[in-house]
Structure 1
């Protein structure tokens, strides 16, 4: 189980420290655990924070969210609730958010880092403002983008690609998750909600699902890469192989 200080929780979730404290004061976020003088947050807190921000984004007021959370938790033990929330909030990727300064971004992308491309990266969620710098939710995506720019692809095109890639991956991930919902959860009934005894089963499904989706997407991407690169670059390779030493001279 991951542990976060409040600054870490803010960085991972994209929610400001101030708002985290507000949600805590309103009873929407459980109090942190205590380790000496340190306040420690867990994946359960991260999951609850994501749930709260999602509901706020859908127009619910603080009081409405508090009522729904209380109703949802009624009849369930604290262990059941925390187990389910940890399953929903657990990170299955080593690609953890990191901070980056504007100077570091300029070193990576040079003159192509303009107000327009920065704003586009923010709109796409590839960057998040934090103080005078930024948080990069996915350093691996940033590294891939930097390498494409180093190869000569314009940064604006790389950002367009990132947006399209995310849409396509969302679609495929939804297909995979939809199969699990259709054959694992929906047979229990279209309106099924886990009872106290069934919460551990539901939490187990949620824990097992992310690595399955990730593995399937990674394997499919590797197979596609092995096929697409030769198909798209094969003509250049064939032409190169036809060049004789005399022609090169």
Structure 2
């Protein structure tokens, strides 16, 4: 009926199906999803997906007997809903926008928000989620899958529980964490480092978005459709620039830090003073840097 294909752009584990049929002309067929597959690809639960459908936030799926088939349009709509929720819109307000778009009212503004192709809606990250059984997780982190570590990973959003499986948000993060633990660093320390990196990454993201707001959209209180198109173009160009700046600065910082560590290891017998400077050598019979001793105990030239 349908061939299972590998899914790209962050979709979970080849969830999409390629529709085939007599009209196949050699071009790539549109991808389709069953209900559970669509929910996984959108990063939501099946229950949430059904709730959105009941609220008429999604157009009806294609029916094939008792099977509901969804397509990329449904997936993009779900990503748009998630993005609008993150920007402070309520489900009621989103429903009004969708209604206005579908009925042609305020078509320009609503279509721009719900255009579903915008860089503002599509995620910057192109991470591939990974589905793991408990045994898979234990194999990645032997003797480290404790209740505390699981709670921390859930709190950070690195993992989510889906039935009997665990979904890790990023293949690259999973591989990096596995490698660090393999080097002998405890998983708890790796997760705490991830929390600190998250805080710094949020600060860097704030810095770049504030630059755009302060210098390119000065005085703009509400984005018009033209503003949205311009902002989409700006953010699309900003993505590689921000990644380049962060990559270079991190590399330079690591160079500086490694050199400093090597220098400190090369002088293990020189205790540092309170300001990080080597302590002065003590005078005979006195404290380092203290008053010089007096009396016969001090030899004098020619004495």
TM-score bracket, shorter-length normalisation: 0.7 to 0.9
1:24 aligns with 2:53: yes
- Equivalent position to 1:153, from 177, 185, 199: 185
Matched residue SS, 1:76 = helix
- Equivalent position to 1:194, from 208, 224, 235: 224
Contact 2:42 2:79 (8 Å CA) reproduced: no
- Higher fraction of helix: 1
1:122 aligns with 2:154: yes
- Equivalent position to 2:39, from 10, 16, 35: 10
1:138 aligns with 2:170: yes
* CA–CA separation in structure 1 for the residues paired with 2:248 and 2:184: 27
* CA–CA separation in structure 2 for the residues paired with 1:165 and 1:33: 43
Contact 1:29 1:45 (8 Å CA) reproduced: yes
**1:25 to 1:205, Cα distance in 2 relative to 1, 3 A:** farther
Shift of 1:26: 0.9
- Equivalent position to 2:241, from 212, 221, 230: 212
Most deviating of 14-23 and 84-93:
84-93
Shift of 1:52: 5.2
* CA–CA separation in structure 2 for the residues paired with 1:41 and 1:78: 19
Paired position in structure 1 for 2:72 = 41
Matched positions, count: 231
Contact 1:47 1:88 (8 Å CA) reproduced: no
Paired position in structure 2 for 1:76 = 108
* CA–CA separation in structure 2 for the residues paired with 1:77 and 1:31: 23
Paired position in structure 2 for 1:203 = 232
Shift of 1:152: 1.5
* CA–CA separation in structure 2 for the residues paired with 1:46 and 1:217: 30
Contact 2:109 2:224 (8 Å CA) reproduced: no
Shift of 1:150: 1.5
**1:16 to 1:216, Cα distance in 2 relative to 1, 3 A:** same
Q: What is the RMSD computed on CA atoms of the aligned residues? A: 3.3
1:173-213 per-residue CA deviation (whole Å, 9 max, x = no partner) reads 11011101111122xx2413213x44432332233333332
* CA–CA separation in structure 1 for the residues paired with 2:32 and 2:235: 22
Contact 2:32 2:72 (8 Å CA) reproduced: yes
1:178 aligns with 2:207: no
Contact 1:194 1:202 (8 Å CA) reproduced: no
* CA–CA separation in structure 1 for the residues paired with 2:198 and 2:250: 13
Shift of 1:114: 0.7
* CA–CA separation in structure 1 for the residues paired with 2:42 and 2:242: 21
Contact 1:84 1:200 (8 Å CA) reproduced: no
Shift of 1:141: 1.6
**Which sections of structure 2, spanning at least 5 residues, go unmatched?**
1-7, 10-30, 268-303
Shift of 1:4: 6.9
